[in-house]
Chain A
Amino acid sequence: MRTLRRPTHRAAPGAVGRRGAAGLGRLFGPVRDARGMAKWVLWIGLGITVLFIVLAVFAPLVAPYDFDQYRNAEGIRFGKQAPPSAAHLFGTNVLSTDVLSRVIFGSRTALTVVVIAVVFALAVGLPLGLISGYFGHKLDRVLVLVMDALFAFPYLLLAIVIAFLLSETIGRGVMSAAVAIAVVYIPQYFRVVRNHVISVREEPYVEAARALGARPRTIIVRYVLFNVIQTVPVIATLNAADAILTLAALGFLGYGIQPTDAAEWGYDIQRAIADAGSGIWWTGLWPGVAIVLLVTGLTLLGEGLNDVLNPVLRRRRIERVDLPSREARVLEPGGEA
C-alpha cells in the first residue's frame, strides 16, 4: 500500500510568537519541492554566486599576483599587454598588471560595495516603506511623491551626480560608491515594501489584532514585518545583480573606486576599449565575462527563488496518471478493492 506523504505544513501568515524561523522556514519547504527548470535555475544561480563569494573572500590566496602588481618577485616587469600565457593565464593589460588577478580582486570589490549598498538601501527603504504603508495619509503621500520622482529619474544620472558630489566631499572610495548606488535603489525597496504593507494591512488577521487592541508597533513588527520580510531575499538578490552593473558603469565612466585602491571590472573594461582597435581582446573579455557571470548567477538565484516562492507563477508539477482498469476494481468478498 502506498503511504500518504504529509503535505508541507504552511504556517498561518505572520503567526504570532514564531520569530524569524517562520520566515525562513517558509523558504525551505518550497525550495525542496521545486522541480524541473525552477530547481535547475535556483541551484545554478546559487552555485555561481557562491563561487564568486569564495573568490572574493579568499582573493589574496587564490589570485596569482596582487591586483596592482606589475613585476614579479625578482623585480622584473611583466610584459605589457601580453597575451595569455602560462605565467599570466588571462594575459596582462596596458599597465603590465595580471588580468586574472585583477578579475579575482575585482570580485572582492564588487561584492563588498554591493553588500554595503544593499544593506544601506534596505536600512533606509524598508523602515520608510513600512511606516509609510502602515500609517498612510499625508506622510505617505509625500514620501510616495518623492520616491516616485527619484525612481523616474534615470538611475545612472543620479548615481553619477551623487558619486561625483560625494567624491568631492568625502573622497573617492568604497563608501562613496556604495552610498551613491544605495540612493538609487532606496525608492525600489520603499515601493515594494510599501505596496506589500498596504496589502497586508487589509488582511483580516491584522484587523483582528487591531480590534484586540494591539499597539501599532506590535502589529507592524510581529505581523506586517514578518510577512514582508519574505519578499526581501528575492528583491535583495535581484537588486544586488543590478547594483553590480551600476558599480561597473560608474567604474567605466570614472566615477567609481579609485583605481589605486582596488581592482574594479568596469574600470578595466574602459581601459580595454582602446585595446579593441589593436585586436587585443584579453584585457576586456575577462572582466566582462566576470560581470556577466556574476550578474547572471545572482539573477538566476533571485528568479529561481521567486519562481519557487511565488504561488502565482509556480506551476504544479504534472504527474502521469494511469487509470486502473475497471476489472481490478470489482468488489472482492473480503471488501478489498
Chain B
Amino acid sequence: MAKQSTSLRTYALTRLGLALPMVLLLLTLVFILMRVAPGDPISAALGGRLPAEELARRRAAAGYDRSLVVQYFDYLGDVARGDFGQTISDNRSVTGLIVQNGAATLELTLVAMLIAVGVGTLVGLVSGRLRDTPADAAGRLFGIVIYAAPIFFLGFLAQLVFGKWLGLLPTSGRASPVVVFTMDSPTNLFIVDALIGGDMEALGDVLRHLVMPATTLGLVIGGVFIRLVRVNVLQTLQGDYVEAARARGVRERHVVFRHAFKNALVPVITVMGLQFALLLSGAILTEQTFNWPGLGSELVRYLDNRDYIAVQGIITFVALVVVVVSMLIDLINAWVDPRVRYA
C-alpha cells in the first residue's frame, strides 16, 4: 500500500499535541518534589531567622497557607504567565536570574555539543568502517574511557596540566574580571556580545576561558556518540540496500559514504536530543569545577541556602527547555528522514 508523504506541518502539530501532557507531568513532578520537603519554602529558608508571626505573615502573603491543590493550580498559572517569582535569600527576580545565568549555561552547552558531535561522529565513522582493526579498538576504548572519566576529574586534570603546569589557559570564570566589567553584554552570550561590539581582545579572552570547560564536557558526551555512530555504521554497511548498490557496480567509496555513512548519521540527530538532558547534567558538574556562573552553579548555591523558590524556578525552566528541545529534535528528524513523518 503506497503511503503519501505527510506534510511537515501536520507532523509538527501532532508532536506539539503530544508534548503538552509531558509538560504537565513534569511540572507536577517538580511541584511534588518541592513540596515534599518539610514545610513551605519560606519556613525552610528563613525558619530560624525570623520571629514566628513575621514568618506566618510572609507565608500568608505568599499564599503558602492554602491547600496544596490550590497552590498547585496557582503554580501552573504562574508558569503559564512566565512568572517565577522572587528568590527568598537575595530577593532577585527568578526570571532575571534564569536569563542571565541561563545564557552562560547555553554558551557552554552549545559549544560542548558541537565538540561532542564533531569528535564523536568522526571517531565513530572511522571506527565502524575499520571494524575489528587496531584503529577500531582504539576508537572504542577511547569512547569508553572518556565516558568513564567524571567531568570533574577531567576538569581537575585539565586545570593541573593546562592551568598550573603549562600556564596556558585560565581555570575559572567566563572571562577575566576586567573584561566582565568593561564589556557591554546585551545578550549575555559573551561570544556574541564580543563579536557585536567588535572587541577582538575580549573575544579572545572569552574563548580562552571557554576552551577547557567546553572541551571537557564535550569530550565526555562525545564518548556516547562514538558508540552510537559506530554501531550504526556497522549495521548500515551490512544493509540490504548497500549490497544492492554493490550489485549495481557502484564504487565502494560511494557505497560507504553516500549510502552507509549518510544513513548511519540520521539517528545522530535524535541522539543529540536525547543527550541534551545528559548535557545539562554534565553542565552542572562543569560549572562547579570551573566556577562557571551558569544555571547549574546557581542551582547548587540556592539549594544549599534552602531557597526553594529559586530552585523550583530553575528546575521548572529546565523541564520546559527539555520538552521544547526534544520537540525541536523530532521536527528536525522528520525533516531529514522522510519516513518519520507519520506517527
Contact = CB atoms under 8 A, between A and B. Distances in A.
B321 to A, nearest CB: 10
Contact of B150 (A248, A293, A299): A248
Given A157-B318, A292-B145, 6 more contacts: A157-B284, A249-B150, A252-B152, A252-B285, A270-B152, A281-B160
Contacts of B164: 276-279
B315 interface: yes
A249 B318 CA distance: 19
Contacts of A160: 284, 299-300, 303
Nearest to B18: A145
Interface stretch (B95-103, B196-204, B274-282, B331-339): B274-282
Q: What range describes how many residues of A lie at the interface?
A: 35 or more
A153 B284 contact: no
A152 B123 CA distance: 27
Interface stretch (A26-34, A118-126, A163-171): A163-171
Q: Kindly name the residue among B38, B277, B278 whose own CB sees the greatest number of chain A CB atoms within 10 A.
A: B277
Sort A-B residue pairs by CB-CB distance and give the 10 closest, nearest first: A156-B281, A288-B153, A295-B148, A154-B280, A149-B25, A154-B277, A276-B159, A296-B148, A154-B281, A284-B156
B29 A149 contact: yes
Interface in B196-243: 231, 234-235
A83 B13 CA distance: 62
Contacts of A277: 159, 163-164, 171
Interface in B288-343: 288-289, 299-300, 303-304, 311, 315, 318-319, 322-323, 326
A145 B25 contact: yes
B21 A253 contact: no
A291 B318 contact: no
A278 B165 CA distance: 10
A153 B319 contact: yes
B31 to A, nearest CB: 12
Interface of A: 36-37, 145-146, 148-150, 152-157, 160-162, 164-165, 168-169, 241, 245, 248-249, 252-254, 266, 269-270, 272-273, 276-279, 281, 284-285, 287-288, 291-293, 295-296, 299-300, 303, 312-313, 315
Q: What range describes how many residues of B lie at the interface?
A: 35 or more
B156 A156 contact: no
Contact of A313 (B137, B171, B234): B234
Contacts of B315: 157, 161
A273 B289 contact: yes
Nearest to B137: A37
A253 B285 contact: yes
Nearest to A166: B36
A144 to B, nearest CB: 11
B195 interface: no
A157 B280 contact: yes
Given A152-B322, A266-B152, A291-B148, A164 B303 contact: yes
Contact of B149 (A157, A161, A253, A292): A292
B148 A249 contact: no
B326 A152 contact: yes
Contact of A153 (B26, B152, B299): B26
A145 B21 contact: yes
A187 to B, nearest CB: 12
Nearest to B306: A168
B150 A145 contact: no
A199 to B, nearest CB: 18
B168 interface: no
A312 B326 CA distance: 29
A314 to B, nearest CB: 11
B149 A291 contact: yes
Contacts of A313: 231, 234
A303 B153 CA distance: 23
Contacts of B110: none
Q: Kindly name the residue among A155, A160, A248, A276 whose own CB sees the greatest number of chain B CB atoms within 10 A.
A: A276
